[in-house]
Amino acid sequence: MYAYDEIDRTLVNERVSEFRDQVKRRLSGELTEDEFKILRLQNGVYLQLHAYMFRVAIPYGTLATNQLRALAHVARKYDRGYGHFTTRQNIQFNWIKLAELPDALEDLAKVGIHAMQTSGNNMRNVTSDQWAGVAPGEIEDPRIWSELIRQHTTLHPEFSFLPRKFKIAITASDHDRAAIKIHDIGLRLIKNEKGETGFEVLVGGGLGRTPFIAKTIKHFVHGRDILSYIEAILRVYNQYGRRDNIYKARIKILVHELGIEKFSREVEEEWQHIRNSSLQIDDEVIEDIRSRFTYPAYEKLPHMPDELRQAAADPEFEAWRKNSVAPHKVQGYSIVTISLKPIGAPPGDATAEQMDALADLADKYSFGEIRVGHEQNLALPHVAKRDLPALWKALDKLGLATPNVNLITDIIACPGLDYCSLANARSIPIAQELTRRFANHELANLIGRLHINISGCINACGHHHVGHIGILGVEKNGEEVYQITIGGRADENAALGTLIGPGVKFDEVADVIEDVVEAYLALRKRPEELFMDTVKRLGVEPFKERVYATR
């Protein structure tokens, strides 16, 4: 966990007071909506179909139990009893009243939570690997660097009025769980030949109506130079990024239009002006941040405790363990992913009761820490293996032990037309129907790793471009129509999916996905060949033929 200092606490509290005054002036008519809009967006407040939506940041996906309880409290007191975890380590409340928002912000501020950097054309909440600090083989904890960037960019005037929003993600493992290649800047923490910490820097990734996979702009930037290098990128973007056309304003468009070589040269030139400035980071700064991250006092525990050995006889426990429990860097401990994808439910939703109960379980079994992943699931990062059977039983009672992590029913979906003012089509009901179609755990296991991503409009909040199967809802002649892509992925081998054919109607989507899956099962060479491998080997044609031959 990270302990905020006095500067952070003051900043957060001052922001609450400011916003309270702004809301008061808005409700009295002293501020017009045009004047107020940018102020509310700077505090994570959007207007959606039914109400205001309040987006709260969970920097680098790390939550303490008192923070999760505060989110449950907000859900219960100010909203309708639940929250929605997003694809960028935020949580959204969908029914909040503007008049009560300052109180909600104040309640969150008491535990160091805020909504800064969750909307607007600024540097957004820095995201990272939800297994940061505990993943075996990790180079070092990427949250230290995430926190450094968070501190530097929060309310930074140069980053507060960018041409468009700007997103950074950091990973420190070979397997990228932070989807860095679909971010404006992706940072991969590495060591150079001298053993010094630095970053491979990628730039220009993003989805939306013009998707791009990020390109490497520099293979190694020393850790001490990372702020100046990021700032150099931002300066080039600020100088050349288009402000005349919202659809061409993201840095990915600039990188594409300039070309990565020219863009790199511009950044390099800018960087030379500032790299030896006060932006160079002293070791003491990093050590100070590092010292504010506390790590559990792990016990020395056996690799295979008796409790785990005995529980292995229970097939339901074993199904969950094999699916949801991952190795930890410390012997005797595990990382447990909590699926927020029960069959038939909206992906990423958690009730206030679930959040409270999960906080209790995290206190009991995970040293008081919870993580949030971009796949819209949660994780307990420090669970002793001996406690896994008891934890599983407790999670099962809460409806939080669905053994479907990384399987076909672990669907990523945006709120879609049920909530979102930008959406053209519904996402959640599609996800719900698909989870029902593939509810049989044996079938889901037979299919193996397969990610479905659903977006209700071209803005792609459900990351459909990088779903193994991507579903994009559009509107055609007043009806919801869904385009299907296959072959996308968001990991270290990130790729954009390929459209398999004409769009299909709402009622046909689940049938089409079943056809795609049946085609895969028939086409794969052996059970171990994953969906993505089959698509890579054969291309989209066999799938297209299967789907459209009878339609």
Partner 1 sequence: MTSPLEQKKIKIAGPSIVTANRTWDGIVVYRTATKSWSADLSEAAIVRNSDEAKALLAESVADDVGAIGPYIAPVQVGADGKIEPGNLREQIRRTGVTIGQSAQA
Residues that bind partner 1 (CB under 8 A): 26-29, 32-33, 47-52, 80-82, 94-99, 344-346, 349, 351, 417-419, 421-426, 428-429, 432, 457, 475, 478-480
With respect to partner 1, which residue has the nearer C-beta, 26 or 465? 26
Query: Which is nearest to 349 in space by CA: 413, 397, 395?
Result: 413
Cβ at position 51, least distance to partner 1 in Å:
4
Instruction: Work out the number of other CB atoms within 10 angstroms of the CB of residue 193.
Output: 6
The β-bridge partners of 55 are 92
Cβ at position 337, least distance to partner 1 in Å:
20
Cβ at position 347, least distance to partner 1 in Å:
10
With respect to partner 1, which residue has the nearer C-beta, 382 or 426? 426
φ/ψ of residue 483, rounded to 5: -95, 140
With respect to partner 1, which residue has the nearer C-beta, 94 or 153? 94
Q: How far apart are CA 34 and CA 19, in angstroms?
A: 16
Cβ at position 119, least distance to partner 1 in Å:
15
Q: How far apart are CA 422 and CA 410, in angstroms?
A: 24
Cβ at position 452, least distance to partner 1 in Å:
17
The CB-side HSE value for 176 (13 A sphere, CA atoms) comes to: 20
> What is the DSSP pairing of strand 469-476 with strand 412-413?
unpaired
Token pair, residue 415, equals 């709120």
Alpha-carbon separation of residue 6 from 149, 175, 428 (angstroms): 18, 36, 41
With respect to partner 1, which residue has the nearer C-beta, 76 or 235? 76
With respect to partner 1, which residue has the nearer C-beta, 412 or 490? 412
Token pair, residue 249, equals 């304003």
Cβ at position 320, least distance to partner 1 in Å:
21
Q: How far apart are CA 166 and CA 99, in angstroms?
A: 29
Token pair, residue 448, equals 């193996």
Going by the DSSP 8-state scheme, the letter that residue 416 receives in this structure is G
Cβ at position 46, least distance to partner 1 in Å:
10
Cβ at position 351, least distance to partner 1 in Å:
5
With respect to partner 1, which residue has the nearer C-beta, 100 or 307? 100
Q: How far apart are CA 194 and CA 284, in angstroms?
A: 20
With respect to partner 1, which residue has the nearer C-beta, 26 or 546? 26
With respect to partner 1, which residue has the nearer C-beta, 272 or 421? 421
SS3 category, 329: coil
87 and 120 Cβ atoms separated by less than 8 Å: no
> What is the DSSP pairing of strand 127-128 with strand 62-64?
unpaired
Q: What is the DSSP string of 142-190?
A: THHHHHHHHHHHTT-GGGSS-SS-B-EEEE-SSS-SS-GGGSSEEEEEE
Q: Which amino acid belongs to residue 483?
A: Q
Cβ at position 154, least distance to partner 1 in Å:
27
- State the burial class of residue 291 (Cβ atoms within 10 Å of its Cβ: 0-12, 13-18, 19+): exposed
With respect to partner 1, which residue has the nearer C-beta, 397 or 525? 397
With respect to partner 1, which residue has the nearer C-beta, 160 or 351? 351
Instruction: Work out the number of other CB atoms within 10 angstroms of the CB of residue 368.
Output: 19
Cβ at position 206, least distance to partner 1 in Å:
20
Instruction: Work out the number of other CB atoms within 10 angstroms of the CB of residue 259.
Output: 11
Q: Tokens 């054969």 identify what position? A: 538
Cβ at position 503, least distance to partner 1 in Å:
14
Alpha-carbon separation of residue 82 from 91, 104, 355, 378 (angstroms): 10, 14, 9, 15
Cβ at position 450, least distance to partner 1 in Å:
23
The CB-side HSE value for 549 (13 A sphere, CA atoms) comes to: 9
Q: Tokens 């960028």 identify what position? A: 88
Cβ at position 482, least distance to partner 1 in Å:
13
With respect to partner 1, which residue has the nearer C-beta, 85 or 229? 85
With respect to partner 1, which residue has the nearer C-beta, 6 or 33? 33
With respect to partner 1, which residue has the nearer C-beta, 26 or 464? 26
Q: How far apart are CA 161 and CA 121, in angstroms?
A: 6
55 and 91 Cβ atoms separated by less than 8 Å: yes
Instruction: Work out the number of other CB atoms within 10 angstroms of the CB of residue 551.
Output: 11
With respect to partner 1, which residue has the nearer C-beta, 416 or 497? 416
Going by the DSSP 8-state scheme, the letter that residue 282 receives in this structure is P
Would you give the distance in Å from CA 418 to the centre of its chain?
Answer: 21
Cβ at position 305, least distance to partner 1 in Å:
35
Q: In whole angstroms, how large is the CA radius of gyration of the chain?
A: 23
